[in-house]
């Protein structure tokens, strides 16, 4: 199971569940390298396991079928939709800032196994407010640039060509927003367009997790290869390992 290159046999985390949970590819890249004297790290990571909803966060990326499809049949997973969540616990972790760069405790990427169809739909839905003004502007631009039309417009009012372009951009954004909303309404019957409504995010929220950027709309990053290092990226089998105990070689 373990394909990681763990070289630092002196490390207090070597061979423990805590090490497996941190899931670093090798000891040199581990953020805890040379600073694992604090046994509280095992308590922190034990707490991390307790804060997992049923199935653990690993079930999202280990699924072979799409986790964003509703109902059956679900599409074959071909990429991952990443959504970051954070927890206020553990407080001391926030102070140490070892596992997290934010003023939060734990921070994990939720990696939803996702099919090609769901990915295309989410991207189209989120980019419609950008695509529509561009398309509209490209349609009106030739009319403004062709002298014959421009002249006719200027005869009505000098600012009219400019106003037409501005209307295409601003109006296009509004139309795009509306189209995006209508499109979302249409597709959300058979997929989770906004992952914040996903049952797993609901279960995470019940355990005290919050979206890392709660004020933003649920922005998803798509990736072909899943994030495979750091907290929350270890396979589900790791969570079943016996709890880590501090090795104290000097006492032996």
> Which residues bind to Zn ion, rule: CB under 5 A?
66, 68-69, 75, 115, 118
Closer residue to Zn ion in complex, CB, 27/115: 115
Name the residue nearer to Zn ion (CB basis): 4 or 119. 119
Using CA atoms in the order 218, 221, 225, 230, what is the torsion angle rounded to 10 degrees? -70
Tell me if 32 sits within 8 A of 100, measured CB to CB: no
What minimum distance in Å lies between the beta carbon of 77 and Zn ion?
Answer: 8
> What is the nearest approach in angstroms of Zn ion to the Cβ of residue 73?
10
Q: Measured from the CB of residue 61, what is the shortest distance to Zn ion in angstroms? A: 14
Q: What is the DSSP string of 156-182?
A: H-TTHHHHHHHHHHHHHHHHHHHHHHH
Cβ–Cβ under 8 Å, residues 107 and 84: yes
In the complex, the smallest distance separating the C-beta of residue 216 from Zn ion, rounded to whole angstroms, is: 23
Cβ proximity to Zn ion: between 192 and 209 the closer is 192
Query: Which C-beta is closer to Zn ion: that of 58 or that of 66?
Result: 66
CA distances from 212 to 25, 83, 155, 194, 196 (A): 25, 8, 54, 15, 12
d(CA 111, CA 203): 15
């Amino acid at each position: 199971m373990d394909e990681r290159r763990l070289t630092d046999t002196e490390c207090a985390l070597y061979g423990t569940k805590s090490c497996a949970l941190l899931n670093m590819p090798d000891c040199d890249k581990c953020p805890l390298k040379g600073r694992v004297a604090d046994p509280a790290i095992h308590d922190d990571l034990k707490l991390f396991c307790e804060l997992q909803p049923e199935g653990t966060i690993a079930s999202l990326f280990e699924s072979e079928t799409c986790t964003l499809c509703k109902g059956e049949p679900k599409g074959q997973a071909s990429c991952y939709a990443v959504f970051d969540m954070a927890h206020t616990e553990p407080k001391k972790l926030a102070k140490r800032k070892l596992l997290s760069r934010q003023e939060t405790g734990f921070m994990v990427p939720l990696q939803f196994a996702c099919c090609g169809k769901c990915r295309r739909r989410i991207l189209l839905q989120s980019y419609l407010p950008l695509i529509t003004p561009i398309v509209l502007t490209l349609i009106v631009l030739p009319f403004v640039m062709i002298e014959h039309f421009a002249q006719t417009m200027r005869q009505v009012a000098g600012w009219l060509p400019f106003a037409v372009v501005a209307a295409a951009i601003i109006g296009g954004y509004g139309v795009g927003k509306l189209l995006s909303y209508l499109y979302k309404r249409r597709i959300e019957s058979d997929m989770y367009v906004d992952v914040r409504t996903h049952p797993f995010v609901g279960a995470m929220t019940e355990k005290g997790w919050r979206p890392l950027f709660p004020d933003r709309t649920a922005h998803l990053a798509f990736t072909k290869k899943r994030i495979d290092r750091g907290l929350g990226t270890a396979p589900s089998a790791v969570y079943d390992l016996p709890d880590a105990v501090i090795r104290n070689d000097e006492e032996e």
